[in-house]
Chains A and B, each alone.
Chain A
Amino acid sequence: MNLLHFLSGRLVKGVLVLFAIAVLNFFLIRAAPGDPAQVLAGEAGAADAQLLEQLRQRFGLNEPITTQLWIYIKGYMTFDLGFSYRQQQPVLSLVLDRLPATLLLTGAAFVVSLALGIVMGALAARRAGRWSDSLITTLSLVFYATPLFWIALMSQIVFSLKLGLVPNVGYETIGANNTGLARALDIGHHLILPALTLGLFFTALYARMMRASMLEVAGADFVKTARAKGLSPGIVSRRHVARNAILPVVTLAGLQAGQLVGGAVLTETVFAWPGIGRLMFDALVQRDYSVLLGVFFMSSAMVVGFNILTDLVYRIADPRIEAGA
Chain B
Amino acid sequence: MNFLKRFCRNRGAVLGLVILLAVVAFALLAPSLYPSSPWRMVGRPFMAPFALERFPLGTDTLGRDIAAGMVHGARVSLMIGVVSTIVSLLIGVPLGAIAGYAGGFVDDALMRFTEFFQTIPSFALAIVLVAILQPQLGSIVLAIGVVSWPPVARLVRGEVLSLRTREYVQAAVTIGQSTPRIIFSQVLPNTVAPIIVMGSLMIGSAILLESALSFLGLGDPNLMSWGYMVGAGRTRLLDAWWISFFPGFAIFLTVLALNLAGEGLNDALNPRLARGRE
Contacts and interface: CB of A to CB of B under 8 A. Distances in A.
A154 B208 CA distance: 16
A145 B259 contact: yes
Given A141-B256, A270-B234, A303-B119, A262 B215 contact: no
A44 B259 CA distance: 44
A150 B230 contact: yes
Nearest to A258: B121
Interface stretch (A52-60, A69-77, A280-288, A313-321): A280-288
B252 A299 contact: no
A215 interface: yes
| Secondary structure class of chain A's binding surface, majority of residues | helix
B5 interface: no
Contact of A153 (B122, B234, B256): B234
Given A145-B204, A149-B215, A281-B216, A154 B119 contact: no
B230 A21 contact: no
Interface string B239-278: 0010011001101100110111000000000000000111
Given A129-B278, A258-B118, A280 B124 contact: yes
Contacts of B215: 147, 149, 266
B127 interface: yes
A19 to B, nearest CB: 11
Contacts of A197: none
A124 to B, nearest CB: 12
Contact of B251 (A147, A157, A261, A295): A147
Given A31-B132, A255-B118, A258-B120, A149 B237 contact: no
Contacts of A263: 123
A39 to B, nearest CB: 8
Contacts of A287: 131
B134 A284 contact: no
Given A32-B133, A142-B256, A154-B245, A303 B121 contact: yes
A161 B122 CA distance: 32
Interface of A: 17, 20-21, 28-29, 31-33, 128-129, 141-142, 144-151, 153-154, 156-157, 161, 212, 215-216, 219, 255, 257-259, 261-263, 265-266, 269-270, 280-281, 284-285, 287, 289, 292-293, 295-296, 299-300, 302-304, 307
A284 B129 CA distance: 11
5 contacts: A219-B276, A266-B215, A284-B216, A302-B121, A307-B119
Contacts of B277: 212, 215
Interface in B1-28: 12
Contacts of B218: 284
Given A142-B252, A259-B123, 13 more contacts: A32-B132, A128-B278, A142-B256, A145-B256, A146-B255, A150-B244, A150-B249, A157-B241, A258-B123, A280-B127, A292-B131, A303-B120, A304-B119
A299 B121 contact: yes
Contacts of A262: 121-124, 126
Contacts of A31: 132-133
Interface centre among A261, A262, A263 (most CB of B within 10 A): A262
Chain B interface category by residue count: 35 or more
A150 to B, nearest CB: 3
A284 B128 CA distance: 9
A307 B119 CA distance: 8
B131 A284 contact: yes
B120 A300 contact: yes
Contacts of B238: 157, 161
B76 interface: no
A197 to B, nearest CB: 13
B216 A265 contact: yes
B124 A284 contact: no
A220 to B, nearest CB: 12
A154 B258 CA distance: 22
A296 B124 contact: yes
A299 to B, nearest CB: 5
A284 B119 contact: no
Contacts of B227: 147, 149
A145 B248 CA distance: 11
Contacts of A28: 128-129, 132
A-B pairs with the 10 shortest C-beta distances? A262-B123, A150-B248, A145-B256, A258-B121, A145-B255, A261-B121, A32-B132, A262-B121, A149-B215, A147-B251
A289 B251 contact: no
